[in-house]
Structure 1
Amino acid sequence: MVRRLAGIRGALERNKTLRYVVYSGVVGVVSGLGACLFFVLLEWGKYFFLEYLAGYPLSKPGGEQLVALERSPVFRRWMLLVLPAFGGLLTGFLVHRYAPEAEGHGTDALIDAFHNKNGIIRTRVPYIKGLASIITLSTGGSAGREGPIAQIGAGFGSWVARLLRMNVRERRLMLLAGCAAGLGAIFRAPLGGALTAIEVLYREDFETEGIILCIMSSVIANAIFISIFGQRPIFDIPPIHFANPVELLFYAGLGLVCVPFGFTYVKVFYGMRDYFFRRLPLKKALVPTVGGLMVGLIAYWRPEVMSGGYGTIQKALMGTLPVSLMLSLAVLKIFATAFTISSGGSGGVFGPSLFIGAMLGGAVGQISCGLFPQWVGNSGAFALVGMGAFFGGVAKAPIGALLMVCEMTGGYGLVVPLMFASVIAVLCSQGWSLYEKQVLNKFHSPAHRTDMVLNVLENVKVRDVYDPTLPVTSLPQDMTLRELKRFMVHTRESFFPVVDDRFHLKGILSLQDVRSVLFEDSVAELLVVGELASPPVSVRPDISLYEALMKFLSSGYGQIPVEERDLGVVGMLRLEELMHAYHQEIQRLRED
């Protein structure tokens, strides 16, 4: 069994395309199932605490009607004061006792793990983060599910990468694949989830190397999620489209309105953390309780700010909320989110950003419709555009936000105003970001330090270095141990490729592999070379010396067989030859 698994891993190592398909499939399945479990527990948790215990008539978006039970007929408003504090108490104990890195909104932890921690997220973090976020959102904490599901999916990806003993580069990519899978599943936005995962790392760049893995894992996770919960978009929208170019002026105004609110959102969010919650003379585990109590005071007056607020967003998209209410909710949501997450509660900032953007967009849309009915058609369209523009501006991820909003609403007819308003919001919001761990571009990321150094080995191929005329001493895989001992008397070699009858590589045998059984005469006729050999490691003539160097470093060998698909083993590449070629290339570049 072990040899079979080693053989499968060897085949994956030799075929990059197959490796990406298999690895992304594994991450997509695990993250997709994790997203399904998270969604079910969250919906039932919200029903139990907010509808059954408090009796609050929680409104829901059109595409999320999982729990159809009746709420309690008695609305106990006083419970809205204590439920967020109770959730903060549970979350504070759980997080600070078992996984302190699971506090906060999660996406920053993902970004930090990519840039600074070699793609490593502790195995327990996805479970603690998921449970803590469910408690926070179910008890009315003002947060979203993007941060938790991103960190949960990324944690699964990191775990799979460590389980399969991938290198640091691939582990980082698996981290992103897990994030994309979680986002693509729970928001039913496979393309938006994939692009957000590679866009949110930087303010002015993309992690393009991960796009294939992210798309494949996101599609697989989304397919699993919609097969269980249906493929209806999260939000229902009226028949809206963009047809009048004059409306772009009003959408530009919406983009500008998002800028000061975005600035306030970021400054309040981190200001409350740095200048209030971190200075409280309390144990860190108790601080989320204080934040929950502050949320409860707002919720007692305006319960709409509790949890994700998707039902209220749905009403804004339908144009049924008054302007004064939407403006007040936008301001209150900023403070409620800061009280929840900045105090150490667990949840995301994507959902609150959508809420604030929808409220601002709905207000701008209704005012524009009232003043200029001949030019502006539907206020719900402005609510939809506001969702993408506000998050794009504060997160510096306009493309991912645009696509996710379109997929969550089905509002593809508003792509043009979405692009226009988002770009304006981003251009006017360059001085701040909702994600502290974001870096400007790849050259500012520790994950890409080696990219700044000229990699001369990329320009030299294996075929240019190894000597195909030198004989290769290979061993047939069915050679017995006794025959091997006789053979070794007549050779000075200590490292042999093990091949089949067509000279295709089946393993690597060194003296160190057989030292323990070399003088065991009782098994000399029973053991064959193929059973003693280590898993095969080879290079192709057409790959670069940089890829070959990675094989040397990962295997620890001093020489590696050169193998062609049809001819089998055709030569040996020695580490000394590679280093000599490196020095020659450096000398040539200096002379040029």
Structure 2
Amino acid sequence: MALYGSKAIRGHGIPEAMEQILVNESNIKPSITLLKPISSAIAIGTGGPFGAEGPIIATGGALGSTLGQLFKVTANERKIILAAGATAGMSAIFGTPIAAIFLAIELLLFEFSPRSILPVALACITGAAGHHLLFESGPVFTMPDVAIPSNLALGIYSFMGIFIGFLSLGITKIVYWVEDLFEELPIHWMWWPAPGGLAVGAIGFYAPHTLGVGYDNITGILSGTWPLTLVLSLCIFKFLSWAIALGSGTSGGTLAPLLTMGGAAGAVIGMFILKVFPEAGINIPLAALIGMSAMFAGASRAYLTSIVFALEATMQSHALLPLLGACTGAYIVSFFLMENTIMTEKIARRGVPTPDSFEPDILQKLSVAAVISDTETVINANTTLSEIRGWLGSANIKDTNFIVVNNQGDYAGIIKLTDIYNNNLDENSTLQGIISAKPNIAISNTDTLRRAVEQMSKSGVEILPVLAEDRVIGVLTYKDIINAYGGYIEKSEFAHTRISLKRQRIKMLIKGKRLIDFNSDN
């Protein structure tokens, strides 16, 4: 199916959806809508150690993109429909609509606005209703009720998140290292899933609980009743099976395996802490839950999604603070020590950059009144061509568009430099006679720079009169907008540079080296 259908069905599908959003205007081949679920069903149904959520997200996204291509919509609207389809699939699988909305924001939309959130929210509500209709209305992963942890336990859970963050970093590196090993095989990529499947079968023969989606494994780990040897073997063998299968290009998901490995790692760490420090007050089911969430937060950097998903999937409200502390620790480790995530590494290797922050549009924040400049390009409508030509010659004005006002200072229109020097016009004629009608090209001083840019783009002008109660109070040029934006970029780049240097320092300290920064006084 990958060879004759589409290579995009290989792997877990979310990086491919992200790539289409970022570089291909959210256009996904309609064939993915059929090929992805069929290929994933075959892979998982025959024992592949994957979750069903990744293929469902990819399938829903492909369906949304296909519908967006059938109708005449913009690329941004098609992106929203794609995200709505993808997150509706996740909500239908787990019954977690709020987590699905955050997934759309952090991994697909890369924005937060009413025009995108409302359609996605409606789609997620519909998906959750389908989940309740087809499955059940209770938590997807049942676990014993947890009590409010003490401050000591809360601190330990947070440090556990840091440790899980290092594990997620190692898991991500190993997965792509395995993928690189398959790249070096002297056979066509179509055959890679064969040796991958052989390894999965060999591991599954000795550890059958590693086969399939393994949602029952997650429930078992969260119960806190599984023995240490079983949990530890599940963590190790599930990781080996999943890493080999995913690296071979087999169609499947990543969320369930990450949750399984994270939950097992959290449970093992919790058991060890209880063995050494019985007074710590650690709860094994809660340790497993924060391990699940922290593993996903560290590997994908979907920070809010990881926290909310754990809360919705288990309905354990008392776990909020431990989840927040653990996911924050895992996120810090991932952010400073890993350039790309398990979701973005593949497309980053193809030269596709992915946003790592959701900053407000500076043009939407700044008003026209804050950046308008004084200018000499406001001309009285009664000025003759002879007068304006003489003035332009002596003043060495380089502007190409000029704003015209009447005797009362009211805006009358815009005149171009080419019209002023038109030899077919009488030099004694006034500007009022040249501008035949008052053009609707102006901007209010209370409007945003984004509105001004849209106005300039639609009208094809480089200068706009700034009005206050129909009176011209100044002009706005494209240079004013560029200077305002450049100032913001300069401040933003300074902040990004500081973060980059901090990342380098941390990596050097881990390697036992020092980084000399000549731009710092320290």
Correspondence list, 1:138-537, <5 A:
138-201=45-108, 206-209=110-113, 210-275=116-181, 277-430=182-335, 431-432=337-338, 433-435=341-343, 436=345, 445=354
1:581–1:301: structure 2 CA closer, same or farther, 3 Å change rule? same
1:453–1:429: structure 2 CA closer, same or farther, 3 Å change rule? closer
1:546–1:415: structure 2 CA closer, same or farther, 3 Å change rule? closer
Q: Which amino acid aligns with 1:207?
A: E
Q: Which amino acid aligns with 1:263?
A: L
Q: Distance in 2 between matches of 1:102 and 1:263?
A: 25
1:258 offset after TM fit, Å? 1.1
Correspondence list, 1:42-81, <5 A:
none
Equivalent in 586, 589, 592 of residue 477 of structure 2? 586
Q: Distance in 2 between matches of 1:588 and 1:99?
A: 46
Q: Which amino acid aligns with 1:335?
A: L
Q: Distance in 1 between matches of 2:106 and 2:201?
A: 34
Give the TM-score taking structure 2 as reference length.
0.68
Q: Distance in 1 between matches of 2:112 and 2:480?
A: 29
1:257 offset after TM fit, Å? 2.7
1:153 offset after TM fit, Å? 1.4
Equivalent in 109, 128, 131 of residue 35 of structure 2? 128
1:100 aligns with 2:100: no
- Residue 440 of structure 2 corresponds to none
Q: Distance in 2 between matches of 1:391 and 1:182?
A: 18
* SS of residue matched to 1:238: coil
Q: Distance in 1 between matches of 2:298 and 2:356?
A: 25
* Worse-matched range after superposition: 331-340 or 370-379: 370-379
Contact 1:114 1:447 in 2 (8 A): no
1:223 offset after TM fit, Å? 1.4
Q: Distance in 1 between matches of 2:327 and 2:449?
A: 44
1:415–1:211: structure 2 CA closer, same or farther, 3 Å change rule? same
Contact 1:388 1:401 in 2 (8 A): yes
1:174–1:311: structure 2 CA closer, same or farther, 3 Å change rule? same
* SS of residue matched to 1:281: coil
1:107 offset after TM fit, Å? 0.9
Contact 1:111 1:437 in 2 (8 A): no
1:229–1:328: structure 2 CA closer, same or farther, 3 Å change rule? closer
Q: Which amino acid aligns with 2:6?
A: A
1:164–1:356: structure 2 CA closer, same or farther, 3 Å change rule? same
Q: Which amino acid aligns with 2:97?
A: P
Contact 1:116 1:446 in 2 (8 A): no
- Residue 427 of structure 2 corresponds to none
Structure 2 stretches lacking a partner, 5+ long: 370-402, 405-409, 414-443, 467-474, 485-522
1:264 offset after TM fit, Å? 2.4
* SS of residue matched to 1:429: helix
Q: Distance in 1 between matches of 2:455 and 2:134?
A: 42
Q: Distance in 2 between matches of 1:244 and 1:220?
A: 38
Contact 1:144 1:349 in 2 (8 A): yes
* SS of residue matched to 1:180: helix
Contact 2:159 2:329 in 1 (8 A): no
Contact 2:166 2:333 in 1 (8 A): no
Q: Distance in 2 between matches of 1:104 and 1:576?
A: 46
Contact 2:142 2:314 in 1 (8 A): yes
1:576–1:281: structure 2 CA closer, same or farther, 3 Å change rule? closer
Q: Which amino acid aligns with 1:404?
A: F
Q: Per-residue displacement from partner, 1:199-222 (whole Å, max 9, x unpaired)?
A: 1259xxx52133333222111221
* SS of residue matched to 1:344: coil
Contact 2:363 2:448 in 1 (8 A): no
Q: Distance in 2 between matches of 1:101 and 1:577?
A: 41
1:545–1:452: structure 2 CA closer, same or farther, 3 Å change rule? closer
Q: Per-residue displacement from partner, 1:399-456 (whole Å, max 9, x unpaired)?
A: 10111111111122101001101111111122322122578xxx965999xx989689
Q: How many residues align?
A: 398
* SS of residue matched to 1:280: coil
Q: Per-residue displacement from partner, 1:243-272 (whole Å, max 9, x unpaired)?
A: 311102321332133133212211221111
1:578 offset after TM fit, Å? 6.7
Contact 1:392 1:426 in 2 (8 A): yes
1:391 offset after TM fit, Å? 0.7
1:587 offset after TM fit, Å? 6.1
Contact 2:456 2:463 in 1 (8 A): no
1:175 offset after TM fit, Å? 1.9
1:113 aligns with 2:45: no
Contact 2:364 2:448 in 1 (8 A): no
1:353–1:325: structure 2 CA closer, same or farther, 3 Å change rule? same
Contact 1:368 1:376 in 2 (8 A): no
Contact 1:268 1:335 in 2 (8 A): no
Q: Distance in 2 between matches of 1:424 and 1:456?
A: 32
1:544 offset after TM fit, Å? 8.3
1:582–1:261: structure 2 CA closer, same or farther, 3 Å change rule? farther
Q: Distance in 2 between matches of 1:548 and 1:589?
A: 11
Contact 2:51 2:252 in 1 (8 A): yes
Q: Distance in 2 between matches of 1:458 and 1:445?
A: 29
Q: Distance in 1 between matches of 2:261 and 2:478?
A: 59
Q: Which amino acid aligns with 1:395?
A: S
Q: Distance in 1 between matches of 2:194 and 2:255?
A: 22
Contact 1:138 1:307 in 2 (8 A): yes
Q: Per-residue displacement from partner, 1:109-133 (whole Å, max 9, x unpaired)?
A: 1111111111111111121111111
Q: Distance in 1 between matches of 2:355 and 2:45?
A: 37
* Worse-matched range after superposition: 421-430 or 323-332: 323-332
Give the TM-score taking structure 1 as reference length.
0.60
